[in-house]
Amino acid sequence: MSQPTIESILKEKRLFPPSAEFSQTAHIKHLDEYQKLYERAAADPEQFWAELAESELHWFKKWDRVLDWQPPNAQWFLGGQLNISYNCLDRHLTTWRKNKAALIWEGEPGDSRTLTYAQLHREVCQMANVIKQLGVQKGDRVGIYMPMIPEAAIAMLACARIGAPHTVVFGGFSAEALRDRLVDAEAKLVITADGGFRKDAAIPLKIQVDKALEHGVSSVDNVLVVKRTGEKTHMEPGRDHWWHDLQAGVSGHCDAEVMDSEDMLFILYTSGTTGKPKGVVHTTGGYNLYTHVTNKWAFDLQDTDVYWCTADVGWITGHSYIVYGPLSNGATTVMYEGAPRSSNPGCFWDVVEKYGVTIFYTAPTAIRAFIKMGEHHPKARDLSSLRLLGTVGEPINPEAWIWYHRVIGGERCPIVDTWWQTETGGFMITPLPGATPTKPGSATMPFPGILADVVDLDGNSVGENQGGYLVVKHPWPGMMRTVYGDPDRFRRTYWEHIPPKDGQYLYFAGDGARRDETGYYWVMGRVDDVISVSGHRLGTMEIESALVSHPSVAEAAVVGKPDELRGEAVVAFVSLEDGYQGSEDLENQLKEHVVSEIGALARPAEIRFTDDLPKTRSGKIMRRLLRSLASGEEISGDTSTLQDRSVLDKLREGA
């Protein structure tokens, strides 16, 4: 008997084809072209990826075998040798790109720096030499705990250059979170800064490193400190070193280490939206190829582009699409230190105007914040340089998509809604902007070479427009290789929820989705968050989107709470747009709005107004905490990646 799936209730039908002007110059110009690529890749994925590996990357030695697949362990390009820092830097130096801007950086106080490929190469080599002097060898792990300054990218590339896997820990994390990750990764060196600027304040970082190392992390011998804020900083003799001291006089040449394709490139911990973060391991060859090709096609990277991804380098988005993907392509990548803040809510649009940004990539949580701040901020700037927009991190509510399209994109820019995960290394389901007509709220179709499906718990494909579990049926080059130090957790988390189907292993993403009658995928939220009302299992995203389509609602999160009659009842946490007040009347209006948008089944039993929702530090709503709140339980489970604890306290008081 087939297992219950998830029901779909959303009725979004709007369609936005790419303009002829956009398609004309795009890498992939037409839906037919996408379909041909897709079919060719599906028929022989190994051949497809091997051809791209040959044409897109520089290899010191070609591989002997494209894929070794012993589920759940995949190895790509066996016997091949390369270095991702070489592909991101050295190979551009023999072309005209040598003096092209590689990295444009804007600091929050208004200072800025542009590094050409030649300059970036030099600094990376210098840092690589310094790291070696500090005793780090190929295979040793290095912790990176940095603000958003060029040295964050330089440190990553320097580690990659000498074959020392990095583990970047988001600079907003506490000393304990940093310590946990340094211990888990057994890092030998930590690269940090005195601090960084965020929301009009100098945020100290080195002090957190000191705390993390207070009782000793036995593996860590040295700390390399970049001067950014100039705050008074304690330097532990024998352990701590200023970067500018060691940089002075060090050589700007450092050969890139010859790495095997499957040598570990980095460990990165997931955001912790659903539980204890997992130390995701990525390796060299497959990751380099996958981020390169996905970035090139889905963002249509051209040499004239100024590409800006607003993520932090502490997340996978920053790894794949601020640093490795764009630089491997020889693109110009923008990095911004700060965040929208009350003193300048329009600072992002200032950056777009100042540098003539052409491609802009951000998250739904940021878009919903822009909506709340008001469209007069972007309207007051010249955004006409933009030609393409992207979104990642959560399902985007169709109304937020439409706002992004209208206000930021001037109704002219395609939007690529990219579905992917830390685990997948790069985009999995995404439009190719010159080819794929888009639908608000849908990530559209799988990238060529990605064999996705929506299945029930037995692994059977579900029908059109029926919800189920999003899976991937064939390995791809950018996939994670394991959970660091815990291969068992790797197997349990991703490969055992759904049994192999006809001998084929299915990668379980943990997200619910449906595929519509045109083959488009709609991600419906996390399967852990599914709500079961009177035997109907509903994803969170569709009810939330109905709420967000009401003019008063800025952001919404729905969860289930136990209900004797119906199994679960829908509870909605709603934050309102400026100028609206929570009231019984509005509560009733919103309930009726959900009923008229999607039906009586989804009617919220309760609506709680709140200024803020609990989010991870990467901006995702943590529904598992709201679920505990709604049912009056103690909050348990991992909360180490929560952005702001006071949000929970306020919600508790309001209850």
Residues near ligand ATP (CB under 6 A): 270-275, 277, 315-316, 392-395, 417-422, 443, 509-511, 523, 526, 618, 620
If the CB atoms of residues 209 and 479 are measured against ligand ATP, the closer one turns out to be: 479
If the CB atoms of residues 9 and 223 are measured against ligand ATP, the closer one turns out to be: 9
Q: Minimum CB separation from ligand ATP for residue 83, in Å?
A: 26
Q: Minimum CB separation from ligand ATP for residue 271, in Å?
A: 4
Preceding amide of 364 cis, omega within 30: no
* Cα 190 from Cα 539, distance rounded (Å): 41
Surface-to-core class of residue 324, CB atoms within 10 Å of its CB (0-12 exposed, 13-18 middle, 19+ buried): buried
If the CB atoms of residues 547 and 622 are measured against ligand ATP, the closer one turns out to be: 622
Q: Which residues of 595-615 are buried (b: 16+ CB within 10 A; e: fewer)?
A: eebbeebbbbbebbbbeebbb
* Cα 583 from Cα 420, distance rounded (Å): 38
Q: Minimum CB separation from ligand ATP for residue 325, in Å?
A: 16
Could you tell me the two tokens for 447? 């990238």
Contact indicator for 614, 647 with CB cutoff of 8 Å: yes
If the CB atoms of residues 314 and 604 are measured against ligand ATP, the closer one turns out to be: 314
Q: Minimum CB separation from ligand ATP for residue 204, in Å?
A: 26
If the CB atoms of residues 74 and 316 are measured against ligand ATP, the closer one turns out to be: 316
If the CB atoms of residues 444 and 610 are measured against ligand ATP, the closer one turns out to be: 444
Residues counted in the chain: 655
Crossing angle for the helix pair 45-56 and 284-298, nearest 10 degrees? 90
Q: Minimum CB separation from ligand ATP for residue 441, in Å?
A: 9
If the CB atoms of residues 243 and 419 are measured against ligand ATP, the closer one turns out to be: 419
Contact indicator for 625, 634 with CB cutoff of 8 Å: no
If we measure between CA atoms, which residue out of 357, 406, 348 comes closest to residue 377? 348
* Cα 619 from Cα 271, distance rounded (Å): 9
Q: Minimum CB separation from ligand ATP for residue 348, in Å?
A: 19
If the CB atoms of residues 408 and 509 are measured against ligand ATP, the closer one turns out to be: 509
CB neighbour list of residue 333: distance below 8 Å, 6 or more residues apart: 102, 103, 104, 307, 308, 309, 322, 323, 326, 327
* Cα 559 from Cα 536, distance rounded (Å): 14
Contact indicator for 223, 240 with CB cutoff of 8 Å: yes
If the CB atoms of residues 266 and 419 are measured against ligand ATP, the closer one turns out to be: 419
* Cα 439 from Cα 511, distance rounded (Å): 19
If the CB atoms of residues 347 and 642 are measured against ligand ATP, the closer one turns out to be: 642
Q: Minimum CB separation from ligand ATP for residue 29, in Å?
A: 24
Q: Minimum CB separation from ligand ATP for residue 489, in Å?
A: 12
- CA 215, distance to chain mean position in Å, is 33
If we measure between CA atoms, which residue out of 217, 198, 209 comes closest to residue 234? 209
* Helix (H) or strand (E) run with residue 161 in it: helix 150-162
Q: Minimum CB separation from ligand ATP for residue 626, in Å?
A: 15
* Cα 610 from Cα 622, distance rounded (Å): 15
* Cα 91 from Cα 59, distance rounded (Å): 11
Query: For residue 202, what are the β-bridge partners?
Result: 197
If the CB atoms of residues 246 and 392 are measured against ligand ATP, the closer one turns out to be: 392
Q: Minimum CB separation from ligand ATP for residue 443, in Å?
A: 5
CA–CA distances in Å: residue 36 to residues 32, 33, 419: 6, 5, 22
Q: Minimum CB separation from ligand ATP for residue 541, in Å?
A: 8
If the CB atoms of residues 192 and 391 are measured against ligand ATP, the closer one turns out to be: 391
Contact indicator for 102, 333 with CB cutoff of 8 Å: yes
Q: Minimum CB separation from ligand ATP for residue 481, in Å?
A: 15
Q: Minimum CB separation from ligand ATP for residue 272, in Å?
A: 4
If the CB atoms of residues 189 and 443 are measured against ligand ATP, the closer one turns out to be: 443
